[in-house]
Amino acid sequence: MIGTRLAGRYEILERVGGGGMALVYKAHDTLLHRNVAVKVLRQQYVHDEEFVRRFRREAQSAASLSHSNVVSVYDVGQEGETHFIVMEYVEGCNLNDIIKEQAPLQVDRAVHIATQICDALGSAHANGIIHRDIKPHNILIGKNGRIKVTDFGIARAATSSSITQTGSVIGSVHYFSPEHAKGVSAGEKSDLYSLGIVLYQMLTGKLPFLGESPISVALKHLQEDVEEPRAVNPMIPQSVENIILKAMRKSPEERYSTAGEMLRDLETCLSPQRLNEPKWTYSSDGDDEEATRVMPALRVDGQSGAGDELRASADAPVWRNGKYEDPEEEKRSNPWIKPIIWFAVLLVMLGGAWYGVKALQEILIIPEVTVPDVTGWPLEDAKERLEEVGLVVAQPIAEEPSRDVALNHVIRQDKKDPDTAKVNTTIRLVVSTGIEMVTIPPLEGKTKSEAVTALTDLGIPELNIETKEEFDDRPAGEVIEQFPSANDSVDPMTDSVTLKISKGPDTVPMPDLIGKTVDEAEALLEKEGLTLKKENIVEEPAYYPAGKVYEQFPYKPGNPVKPPGEEIMIYVSTGLPDEARVTTYKVTVGPRQEGAESEIRIVVSDAMGDRKEAAKRKVKQQETFSFDVVTSPSKNAVIEVFQDDVKNNHITWTYQQAGEAGGNASSGETAEETQPEHQPEGEQQSDDEITVPGGL
């Protein structure tokens, strides 16, 4: 077996023990990388199908247990003829070894071990699993001292099979309860009996019942008084002896009713106030139970010693009222007893019925009281008043908001004076939760009408909603502030709400000041609430009519400006700069066709501006048109002549020509041009007569 691998994952390392039905190996689970114990069914049982089935089933049910004092079962498997159970590996020893080497154990140590076993049993019993084979061999003690109980339920697999033939299983008879020894099914209390024996053995170093054969041991469980533990080991406190005596009662009814009950006793038995408690005796009404015990009849199948099987015979004495009773005895008892018992029972029943009728009468005839009117009362006073007259306030008490009734005062009741009600009737009250407040929603960012609708929807009358308009950078009509703030509670009937609404940004459009005089400009600005500082009026020569604004800064016409507009500047022309050259230009032009009439239009683009209409009138014959042109070092003049909207001529008058003609800003000269009737469009330079000084 050593060195083999089971189920492809459990590598068998070494043998750690072996009992009646199985061998136990330490193994390594190569999948989960941990050590495990593998219990392999002995070869001689693998053909006992019933046994194998039970072995697997019990292991599976034990696998459902999870408790710190129970050896966990991980897996159940079969490989060929090898049936195995994989479980938690407990590195340490078993309690049998400890008892053999060290018993009697220290009382607190023994109690501590028993406590952990009892805890494990409690958990198993709660899961419907009975151990059936509590004995020191099945109690493992880990290196850390923790107790782990193993082999839950596995003994059951053996009960109906030939395995009882082996010496080692028969050995368990030292721990069997009387009912188990008789072959009656073992329950939770059998486990507690076995634990009582283990505790006995730990503390005295000996087994309570020893015999030549399993049968004689079983008989002793059934009949014989146990030698009291304190008689063997006087170090055992009375409280601990009491636990052993109670756990080891022969009748299951006289033992602890559950593992939990025994556990509580184990946990407290060493407390100083309990150590010397009185000796526990089973309180029974019957005669001296020990003295009247009758021997059970055990049928012995088979002939001798270790191979014997224990079964209860059909007419075995029965444990009842603290003693084994012979069923025949019962048949011989007094024939009057039964009628007397029946008569007594009848008397008790009649008495009960009479008492019941009296009680019913009291219930049915109930006094009536007038229900006090407690409306408007504080709840506590109202309750007290109603209870005073024997009425009950219905729970839970209904609540309702109210404008008229103060908080926690009664608004109304389902019955009140002059109504009457039977004592103990429940009266329903409705109590005020005070004024129903509403929570103001967040309104900022909403339009005025959205905000007002939201508030009126809450029941706030429009009259109580005030609005104030203010300049703000946010769009006009938007709520920019609210009082009270969002999430505040208000009484919708009395509290008012104020909304601040944006009027939009506080700006005006900049007026167009170009071409205006300073006075005109000031008047226009004033109209918009803007002011013009004296130091912001800049007077300079410019190619612009003198005394007129030719530049406004920094706002162009139409730009938004916030009053009073501290930074507004205007530039006013003081007349042409010295470098300017002014020429009075004369153009002589006639109609397009002789004898007909034509509209003559002259358009000038010069330093003063582009495409200005210099002259326009109708002519029937040649006429001379006279106008001023201004040139600058950077700008020549262009004169366009139209006859009935048809361009007749296009003349460029340069700054240089103007200079040659002697024209300048201070002393303008005149240039004259005579236009031919059908002059083709083209450039022509004028050096015609200069007559009178021009000027603007």
Cβ at position 34, least distance to ligand ATP in Å: 12
CB of 329 to ligand ATP, least distance (A): 39
168 binds, among Mg ion, ligand ATP, none (CB under 5 to 8 A by kind): ligand ATP
Residue carrying the six token digits 């170009």:
514
Query: Which of positions 83-102 make contact with ligand ATP (CB under 6 A)?
Result: 87-90, 94
Least separation, in Å, of the C-beta of 279 and Mg ion? 35
Among 119, 151, 254, 265, binds ligand ATP (CB under 6 A): 151
Q: 574 by DSSP, 3-state: which?
A: coil
Partner that binds at residue 402, options Mg ion, ligand ATP, none, CB closer than 5 to 8 Å by kind: none
Question: What is the Cα–Cα distance from 532 to 518, expressed in whole angstroms?
Answer: 10
Q: Is 159 a binder of ligand ATP (CB under 6 A)?
A: no
Our finding on whether 24 is near ligand ATP (CB under 6 A) is yes
> Which residue's CB is nearer to ligand ATP, number 97 or number 526?
97
CA atoms of 78 and 83, how far apart (whole Å): 4
Q: Which residues within the stretch 112-151 sit at the binding site for Mg ion (CB under 5 A)?
A: 138, 151
Taking Cα atoms as reference points, which of 430, 427, 432 lies closest to residue 388? 427
Residue 150 within binding range of ligand ATP, rule CB under 6 A: yes
State the catalytic residue, choosing from 133, 151, 265, 606. 133
Counting beta carbons within 10 angstroms of the beta carbon of residue 194, is it exposed (0 to 12), middle (13 to 18) or buried (19 or more)?
buried
Both structure tokens of 531? 């002011």
Nearer to ligand ATP, 150 or 242 (CB): 150
Give the type of residue at 257: S
Residue 110, helix vs strand vs coil:
helix
Record the tokens describing residue 589, joined without a space: 């032009």
Query: By C-beta, is 11 or 151 nearer to Mg ion?
Result: 151
Q: State the binding partner of 591 from ligand ATP, Mg ion, none, CB within 5 to 8 A by kind.
A: none
- From the list Mg ion, ligand ATP, none, pick the one residue 586 interacts with, judged by a Cβ distance below 5 to 8 Å according to partner type: none
Q: Which stretch binds ligand ATP (CB under 6 A): 137-145, 221-229, 466-474, 480-488?
A: 137-145
58 binds Mg ion (CB under 5 A): no
Among 6, 12, 27, 37, binds ligand ATP (CB under 6 A): 37
Q: Which of 6, 11, 12, 19 binds ligand ATP (CB under 6 A)?
A: 19
Q: Which CB sits closer to ligand ATP, 175 or 625?
A: 175
Only one of the segments 17-25, 78-86, 243-251, 265-273 lies at the binding site for Mg ion (rule: CB under 5 A); that segment is 17-25
Task: Report d(CA 331, CA 333) in Å as an integer.
Answer: 6
Rounded to 5 degrees, φ, ψ at 444 are -60, 135
The one segment of 136-144, 326-334, 527-535, 603-611 that binds ligand ATP by CB under 6 A? 136-144
Check if the beta carbon of residue 294 is closer than 8 Å to that of residue 317: yes
Q: Is the dihedral of CA 367, 370, 371, 377 positive or negative?
A: negative
Instruction: Assess contact for 583 and 668: CB atoms under 8 A.
Output: yes
Q: Edge-to-edge strands of the sheet including 465-471?
A: 465-471, 497-504, 479-483
**Which residues in 76-115 are b (16+ Cβ under 10 Å) and which e?**
bbeeeebbbbbbbbbebebbeebbeeebbbebeebbbbbb
d(CA 685, CA 638): 11
How many beta carbons lie within 10 A of that of residue 614, not counting itself?
Answer: 19
Q: Does 71 bind ligand ATP (CB under 6 A)?
A: yes
* Residue 157 phi, psi dihedral angles, 5° rounding: -60, -30
- Is 437 a binding residue for ligand ATP by CB under 6 A? The answer is no
As measured in angstroms, the least distance from the Cβ of 309 to ligand ATP is: 16
**CA within 13 Å, CB half, 46:** 14
Distance between alpha carbon 317 and the CA centroid of its chain, in Å?
A: 65
Using alpha carbons, select from 41, 151, 63, 138 the residue that is nearest to residue 93.
138
* Spatial separation of the C-alpha atoms in residues 80 and 526, rounded to whole Å: 114
**Residue 247 CB, nearest distance to ligand ATP (Å)?**
21
Determine if 117 is a binding residue for ligand ATP (CB under 6 A). no
Name residues contacting ligand ATP, limited to 38-67 (CB under 6 A): 39
29 flagged as catalytic: no
One-letter identity of residue 500: K
Q: Per-residue x/- marks for ligand ATP, 177-216, CB under 6 A?
A: ----------------------------------------
**By the criterion CB under 6 A, which residues form the site for ligand ATP?**
16-22, 24, 37, 39, 71, 87-90, 94, 137-138, 140, 150-151, 168-169, 172
**By the criterion CB under 5 A, which residues form the site for Mg ion?**
19, 138, 151
| Residues involved in catalysis | 133
